[in-house]
Structure 1
């Protein structure tokens, strides 16, 4: 009796019955009682067939509604293997497409939510470590027995504060990359100027560590990109090489053009990249054994290169045995 609660069906049935009754009455008046009875019987049969077909359609729609409800609350997909030709088949097919799209969006949202949770956990861990060291250093300053000991602790504290500042700045830049807020202002980038700007912030640290830098830049070499973000990316790679090069070692920077791309090669004379670290080197927050960094710089460098249509790859240099990084900016990409 659920069909009788459908107002549209009741209206259509009443209209059909009224039309058929009027036709039967007209036939009876014109042709006599036999014709009227035949018209009335035909009308009753038509109403019965209409009822049967409508009941079947109602059951199909009810079953489809139940499947949609299960999809929304139970997570299962609509099975349209039993669909035939017809309006309901088309509707069911479209619903299947919609639920598949919603399921995909929900899955992506779940992955993004998990990635955000992992990133927050990593960030909190990365910040907590230097903050703990800062607290210990402050305690050491308070307990210092002479000015020399206090001065050493202050220098250590200064270095820790700089590391935290660099970490926060790098995290903000990564957030911009993730949000697509990096604006690349494409222009002709001079290779010699790029290398100078990337090395400038590291000069003091290089001197303190006793690491030399050799630069071999092809005169007049240029590429189309963003000078500021390119210097940031190259600087992060240089910083990584510096941190893994022992005192007396050398970091070499080569920049040149070939027929395909503008390339920057950075090599060092450190111990090289361990085979187990190589596949994960550009993963965010990944730190190899004995690493001093936070696992952010190389990930940021690759993201900045990619934002300009370039690539950043890593390996070990066969000549020096140290790490080898290569930027490539294809000439056809603007």
Structure 2
């Protein structure tokens, strides 16, 4: 995504009226529209407003907000964000404005304010996703645009920072990376819900793919002290999308390795049975409580609420895995007991 794409929708003004962040020339006339003058006056007085403005044949809603100094609470500038009304629903618009504000506040007022806004942005993502299962595919643009702005601006600040400020900037970048990973998972599910994520089927030999992935995962398993063991039984072929099946296997193997303590075992098996290719990923980890098993394929659900995002993932992996299996007309099931490990079984139609 070209970072300059976001600049066409945003401008930041000092109280004197000087532009700090300028929109692209294609939308200069939009922000110069006299209809926005009352909103600018209200923003300088500390109020927030939304104004509908025409630019060419497109109707925009322009959000005009005051930028305040967090210590003195005085208005130090004005932020205007323009969005085509037809792109996203009101929930996503509010989320986008939060992320854009996080970018501006982080550069103007410092790393700590930006970090707080970045953390706060996770809660609206969760609420919006629960309210709207069929996420619009355009959400990826709306989310990635402000994240790109945050990262670009903070990286520029990092190059000039020293002492504690450098650590603050790195923390912000880490948070943006986590948000980017979540946005990537959300984008996959959004495109899948909108039926805009094609499945490109072709003959695929599962054993060869499993061997390749286990070779790649072996260094991670060794680092965690986990024995990674293949259990392959002859050649098993399916007609499937190699990219999606690879993604499926990586999700299941990553979950197994993450939840298996040092000295434990993770095995990956492939066998042909009753016209189906059966894939099993088994670990000797802590297991999943029976009360949590019915919910593990729900988005953002974590069986272990004590896990943080770094150790516990985004809560979207198994939801993506289930979509991949469903898209290939297969089924996925989990067997687990606390203290006895977990087995995930996937069945896909096998080629004759």
Q: 1:122 aligns with which of 110, 119, 126?
A: 126
Matched, 1:329 2:348: yes
Q: Equivalent residue of 2:183, what SS? A: helix
Note closer, same or farther for the CA distance 1:119–1:200 as it changes in structure 2 (3 Å cut). Answer: farther
Encode CA deviations 1:160-218: one digit per residue, 9 max, x unaligned.
66544432222211111111122112221111222145446644433332222111112
Which residue number in structure 1 is paired with residue 247 of structure 2? Answer: 232
Change (3 A) 1:163 1:246: farther
Q: CA deviation at 1:265?
A: 0.3
Does the CA contact (< 8 Å) of 1:269 and 1:321 recur in 2?
A: yes
Structure 1 residues 285, 182: CA separation in 2 closer, same or farther (over 3 Å shift)?
same
> Residues 1-334 of structure 1 correspond to what in structure 2 (within 5 A)?
121-122=125-126, 142-143=163-164, 163-199=178-214, 202-289=217-304, 290-291=306-307, 292-316=312-336, 321-331=340-350
Whole-Å Cα distance in 1 between the matches of residues 90 and 276 of structure 2?
37
Instruction: Mark the CA change 1:183 to 1:160 in structure 2 (over 3 Å): closer, same or farther.
Output: same
Secondary structure, counterpart of 1:283 in structure 2: coil
CA distance in structure 2 between the partners assigned to 1:202 and 1:165 by the alignment:
23
Shift of 1:297: 0.3
| SS in structure 2 of the partner of residue 229 of structure 1 | helix
> How many Å apart are 1:119 and its aligned residue?
9.7
Query: How far apart, in 2, do the equivalents of 1:252 and 1:239 lie?
Result: 12
Does structure 2 conserve the Cα–Cα contact (< 8 Å) formed by 1:198 and 1:232? no
TM-score w.r.t. length of structure 1: 0.52
Residues 247, 160 of structure 1: alpha-carbon distance in 2 compared, 3 angstrom cutoff:
farther
Report the secondary structure of 2:285's partner residue: coil
Change in Cα spacing, 1:115 to 1:211, as seen in structure 2 (3 Å) is farther
Three-state SS of the structure 2 residue aligned to 1:220 is coil
Cα distance in 1 for residues equivalent to 2:123 and 2:211:
33
Distance 1:119 1:169 in 2: 17
Structure 1 residues 275 and 283: alpha-carbon distance in aligned structure 2, compared to 1, 3 A threshold: same
Q: What SS does structure 2 have at the residue aligned with 1:236? A: helix
Provide the C-alpha distance between the structure 2 equivalents of 1:248 and 1:329, rounded to a whole number of angstroms: 31
The CA RMSD over aligned residues, in Å, is: 4.0
Provide the C-alpha distance between the structure 2 equivalents of 1:209 and 1:323, rounded to a whole number of angstroms. Answer: 18
Give the distance between the partners of 1:194 and 1:226, measured in 2 at CA.
12
> Once superposed, which parts of structure 1, at least 4 consecutive aligned residues long, lie more than 3 Å away?
113-121, 141-145, 156-165, 196-205
Question: Matches of 1:306 and 1:328 in 2, distance apart?
Answer: 10
Match of residue 57 from structure 2: none
Q: Is the 8 A contact 2:211 2:230 kept in 1?
A: no
Residue of structure 1 in register with 2:38 after alignment: none
Mapped to 1, the partners of 2:217 and 2:172 lie a distance apart of 19
Residue 36 of structure 1 is matched in structure 2 by none
- The structure carrying a bigger helix percent of its residues is 1
Structure with a larger share of its residues in strand: 2
- Compute the displacement of 1:298 (Å): 0.4
Q: CA deviation at 1:257?
A: 0.3
- Seen in structure 2, the aligned counterparts of structure 1 residues 115 and 124 have a Cα distance that, compared at 3 Å, is closer
Distance 2:259 2:268 in 1: 15
Cα pair distance change 1:205/1:158, threshold 3 Å: farther
